[in-house]
Chain A
Amino acid sequence: MKLTCDIDVHHLTRVEGHGNIHIRIRNGEVVKAQWEVVETPRFFEAMLVGKKWENAPYLCGRICGICSIGHTLASIRAVENCFNIVPSEQTAKLRLLLKHMETLQSHILHLYFLAAPDFLNTGSVFPLIKSHPEVVQRAARLKLLANDCCDVIGGRRLHPTRTVVGGFTMLPDKYQLEQLRQRLETSMADLEQSAELFASFAIPDFSRETEFVSLKGKGSYPFIGGSLVSTDGVELPENEYLQMTNEYCVENSTSKWSRLSRDSFAVGSLARLNNNFAHLHPSAQEVAKGLGLAPVNHNPFMNNVAQLVECVHVVQDAIRLIRELTAAEWQEVRQQVTPQAGTGVAAVEVPRGILYHCYECDQDGRIVKADCVIPTSQNHANIQHDIQALADNYAKKGSSDKEIELLAEMLVRAYDPCISCSVH
């Protein structure tokens, strides 16, 4: 039993954005365990008001530097749903392929550059360049591949240039796609070694019963659009997302929080996997089994493993998509866009969980109201409750301040939070 403990982490490192952790234990009781979000708001929802529809994807990609492709695609889908535009099969495949490669890029960045140093007892990836060169080279290779794919399809890995309402500004080169497919096939060896690396890590033994929210797969692992589902049995159509997110403001956070059936819920790789395990590619399921991950798993640290499993899935699915795209003749790159008054909702699974954009437009396609609900904002309340339970568990075990501090940091990192995105 641990009697007293004072932990104050100011601006947690190796996460995107600014958050603090405070833990106080007195006489063996956790009297304070707080996840504080201090990020400055940028007011994207207000910025959009009065702007024509074509500004939305371009501006909203800038909500996030890591998942700019996800935001751009969610924004495009919201506008298209508002104008009753259905993307062509070719456009849908290219967008999914682009999304897959962002997922791979983002997960690899998180797993190797942000999460792995904790398990390898260093403060960053930089010392690993000397101590574990093969690990860093593998991470760079996978990240480069994902980014190259994003460049070829989206025009640019960060803040994509080819993605527009109605389709794309231009199509990728089929020869380049074929080269990427070959590199993707080869990358499976790197992913297998990544799985071996993560199998060697001691994942903290902690779990707390949690409600998991994601898109619901219909015949395939879900990424763009569809119905919303929770492990507590809630199921809603995409355009009723507000009943799923229930945002509210709290002290000590510039990000809004969310709740559904309980005080908090979780989104992200683990949530997607918990709700849609059967739709994962067989080789991804195999990696999951090898790493001891089966649905429904309530250990938030396993989100790292779930991300790795998803890397295998998106690589396999990207190979399929490229085969189908290169086998077909190119169709029209971009549809005509005719604005109409209405409201469009988009739910898209981005690396950190389900993302919603909703715009209300007038008859000229000018935005009169905008709403964006970010995965990390949906996770903040769950992070808060996890920190509380974690501090409680490890205080009872008599862990030192340093151990509890590291575990709390690792816990937040496991959610791969995108804090500036959550505040937007």
Chain B
Amino acid sequence: MSAELSYMGVDLTRPRVAFFELSSCEGCQLQLLNKEASLLDFFNLLQVVQFREAMSEKDDTYDVAFVEGSVTRADEEERLKIIRKRAKILIAFGSCACFGGVNQLKNRFADQDWVKREVYGDFAIDTQPVRPLADIVEVDVNIYGCPVKKEEVERIVTDLVVGKTILYPKYPVCMDCKANENICLFDLGEPCLGPVTRAGCDAWCPNNRMGCWGCRGPAEAANVEQLKNIMAEHGFSSETLLDRLECFGGFSAFVDGLRQPQQDTGKQGSGI
């Protein structure tokens, strides 16, 4: 099959690719089936050998593993370790895999037993604090976003297949947003993490007049202290800032100082 694929006259090998999901909404995998116009070209780059959500065939010999979701139970930890052993390249696919995603919001409660009881009452349920993949195994490539942007997935996968170094924008979402000539969300009275969040999504939310929630994590040299000033100047409370900074787990290093113990439910702690 490899001879059928070439790039600038050089024959390329289609990598054997497998897709997996841990605790997640499976939306990032669904994004793979989006952007229908280039769908066939995209899948032509790959030999998909395992993709449970879309196919029944299954082969455990693969080069590249895309893993969506975060780790919340011992069996997921074991699955992830096995995938790591089998894959040459392991990709953390989407913000749940990269940082814990929205799932890690449950970690903010000091009393994890309360979390279980709140949902399941006295029924025994097995769960652990949410962890991103890199807490358990070595991750080779991160694809950020909630959801991932298919254009970026296509670029990274193409770079992988042709052997190019994978690069990410170092600048924040704010740059893309300005380039798109959007009205600044702050001027529209909306909070926004655009000034500190890693770009690469083409300011997906701000383009639609929704302020950025930081799903892609911090940009290089993100100045969160300055963002605090901008938010305060525009009259947003530290609670609003915290809501956004803690939403996906990418800014976890910045949120501790913002969390007020006992601020609301009496169950909120400083996280784990």
Residues of A at the B interface (CB closer than 8 Å) are 11, 13-17, 40-43, 45-47, 49-52, 54-55, 58-59, 62-66, 68, 109, 113-114, 117, 123-126, 129, 140-141, 143-144, 147, 155-159, 161-162, 164, 169-170, 249, 254, 366, 368, 420-421
Q: A51-B243, A65-B29 are in contact. Are A123 and B55 (CB under 8 A)?
A: yes
Q: A42-B23, A144-B36, A420-B25 are in contact. Are A59 and B106 (CB under 8 A)?
A: no
Most A-side CB within 10 Å, residue of B28, B33, B208 = B208
Are B102 and A62 within 8 A (Cβ)? yes
How many angstroms between the C-alpha atoms of A272 and B244 in the bound complex? Answer: 38
Contacts of B34 in A (CB 8 A): 147, 157-158
Question: B154 in the interface, Cβ–Cβ < 8 Å?
Answer: no
Are B127 and A41 within 8 A (Cβ)? yes
Contacts of A161 in B (CB 8 A): 204-205, 207-208, 210
Which are the 8 A-B pairs with shortest beta-carbon distances? A65-B27, A124-B55, A155-B208, A123-B56, A249-B123, A50-B264, A161-B208, A169-B209
Residues of chain B from 195 to 228 with CB closer than 8 A to chain A in the complex: 204-205, 207-210, 213
How many chain B residues sit at the interface, stated as a range, is 35 or more
Find the A residue at minimum CB distance from B115. A46
Q: A126-B43, A155-B210, A170-B208 are in contact. Are A68 and B106 (CB under 8 A)?
A: no
Q: Specify which of A15, A16, A65, A125 is in contact with B147 (CB 8 Å cutoff).
A: A65
Q: A49-B267, A124-B55 are in contact. Are A147 and B36 (CB under 8 A)?
A: yes
Q: Specify which of A14, A45, A65, A147 is in contact with B25 (CB 8 Å cutoff).
A: A65
Shortest beta-carbon distance from A123 to chain B in Å: 4
Find the B residue at minimum CB distance from A129. B40
Q: Specify which of B27, B55, B114, B121 is in contact with A249 (CB 8 Å cutoff).
A: B121
Contacts of A420 in B (CB 8 A): 21, 23-26
Per-position contact with A for B209-253: 1 when CB-CB < 8 Å, else 0? 110010000000000000000000000000110010001000000
Question: B179 in the interface, Cβ–Cβ < 8 Å?
Answer: no
Q: A47-B102, A65-B29, A124-B57 are in contact. List 8 more A-B contacts (CB 8 A).
A: A11-B52, A13-B53, A42-B103, A55-B243, A66-B26, A114-B54, A161-B208, A249-B121
Q: Which label, helix, strand, loop or mixed, suits the secondary structure of the B interface?
A: mixed
Find the B residue at minimum CB distance from A419. B26
Shortest beta-carbon distance from B77 to chain A in Å: 11
Are A52 and B239 within 8 A (Cβ)? yes
Q: A42-B103, A66-B30, A420-B25 are in contact. Are A13 and B210 (CB under 8 A)?
A: no
Contacts of A169 in B (CB 8 A): 208-210
Per-position contact with A for B91-123: 1 when CB-CB < 8 Å, else 0? 000000000011101100100001110111101
A-B contact pairs, 12 of them (CB 8 A): A46-B106, A46-B109, A49-B267, A50-B268, A51-B243, A64-B25, A68-B27, A117-B56, A123-B55, A161-B208, A170-B209, A420-B21
